[in-house]
Amino acid sequence: VVVRVSGPTATVCEEGRLIEARLAPKLPGRPVVAGDRVTLRAAGNERTVVAIDPRRTLLERGDGWERRARPLAANADLRVFPAGVAAPPLRPRLLDRYLVAAEVGGLEAAIAITKTDLPHDGSELEEVVDLYRSVGYPALCGSAHDAEFVERLREQIGGRVAVLAGHSGVGKSTLTAALTGVERATGAVSERIGTGRHTTTDPRLIPMPSGGAIVDTAGVRTFHLPRMDREQLERGFPEIAAAAPDCRFRGCAHDGDAGCAVVDAVSPPRLESYRRLLHDLR
């Protein structure tokens, strides 16, 4: 199992021990990412990654102006989205893009809203939490420094592999350290713009002492979806996908069309978020 990729080499867990392996120059299925299961070829003391097993799940983001699919983590079970209630502020539309990427990639998703120890609008937080719970997403609220909150998150993950991915400065690295016992660099929050500085530069798979593992990823200030078709985007909103068969016309885009069943079945904020992403596809 690939733990981390750095340039032309990968750190691989082989039979319980970590080794460094070179990536074959013409490796089919590249790039290799954390969580990939790979085949190694031995030549003396050197190991080379020569094949990537079929991926059970794959988390991707859009890269560049063409939004080409860039793999972030493979074979994870769950994507956990740390989102700060303040500093930086909660951004539901960014959260929606993360949720779509999880659904399209075959992962379950959960939300961990952090920094509730900071001043915030309690009614706004309750409204956001209720919205996502109504869709079916588990949503936990607390502080990355609160042992009880960390334990609830640990129970949510269980023995699975979870990708932690979210906005810079929400306490993701602190959560990772609390869950795994492995310290990684944590950065200060920028006073000028109120967002965290990037502290994690490459996705890395870190086992948890109680079982399961965390794939720690770099914090971002924005997240672009890879190119996808309308059907994939619809699948990324489970409540829209569930209501879509009742639409009057086959292939309804749910963009104000007559006879669309989605309008009355989906909350206005989520429908607006879907429509914005739909227009980005065009």
| pLDDT above 70 coverage of the chain, percent | 92
Across the chain, mean pLDDT equals 89
Tell me what the mean pLDDT of segment 65-87 comes to. Answer: 92
Highest mean pLDDT among 124-138, 170-184, 192-206, 249-263: 124-138
What pLDDT score does 197 carry? 36
Distances in whole angstroms, Cα of residue 218 to Cα of each of 45, 101, 225: 32, 16, 16
Q: Is the pLDDT of residue 67 over 50?
A: yes
Report pLDDT digits (tens) over 106-150: 999 999 999 999 999 999 999 999 999 999 999 999 998 899 999
Judge contact between 36 and 74, C-beta under 8 A.
Answer: yes
Q: Do the beta carbons of residue 76 and residue 205 sit within 8 Å?
A: no
pLDDT band at 201 (very low <50, low <70, confident <90, very high): low
Is pLDDT larger for residue 158 or for residue 201?
A: 158
pLDDT in tens, 152-173: 999 999 999 999 988 777 888 8
Question: Cα 81–84–90 angle (5° rounding)?
Answer: 95
The share of the chain scoring above pLDDT 90, in percent, equals 72
Phi-psi region for residue 269, left (φ > 0), alpha (ψ -120 to 50) or beta? alpha
How many CB atoms are located within 10 Å of the residue 197 CB? Answer: 13
pLDDT grade for 183, boundaries at 50, 70 and 90: confident
If one counts every other C-beta atom within 10 angstroms of the C-beta of residue 72, the result is 22
Distance CA 44, CA 154 (A): 41
| Averaged pLDDT, 254-279 | 93
pLDDT of residue 185: 39
One-letter-per-residue 3-state SS of the chain:
CEEEEECCEEEEEECCEEEEEEECCCCCCCCCCECCCEEEEEECCEEEEEEECCCCCEEEEEECCCCEEEEEEECCCEEEEEEECCCCCCCHHHHHHHHHHHHHHCCEEEEEEECCCCCCCHHHHHHHHHHHHHHCCCEEECCCCCHHHHHHHHHHHCCCEEEECCECCCCHHHHHHHHHCCCCCCCCECCCCCCECCCCCCCEEEECCCCCEEEECCCECCCCCCCCCHHHHHHCCHHHHHHHHHCCCCCCCCCCCCCCCCCCCCCHHHHHHHHHHHHHHC
**Confidence tier at 184 by pLDDT (50, 70, 90):** low
The answer to whether 169 touches 188, Cβ cutoff 8 Å, is: no
Contact criterion met (CB below 8 Å) for 87 and 175: no
**Alpha carbon distance 237, 134 (integer Å):** 12
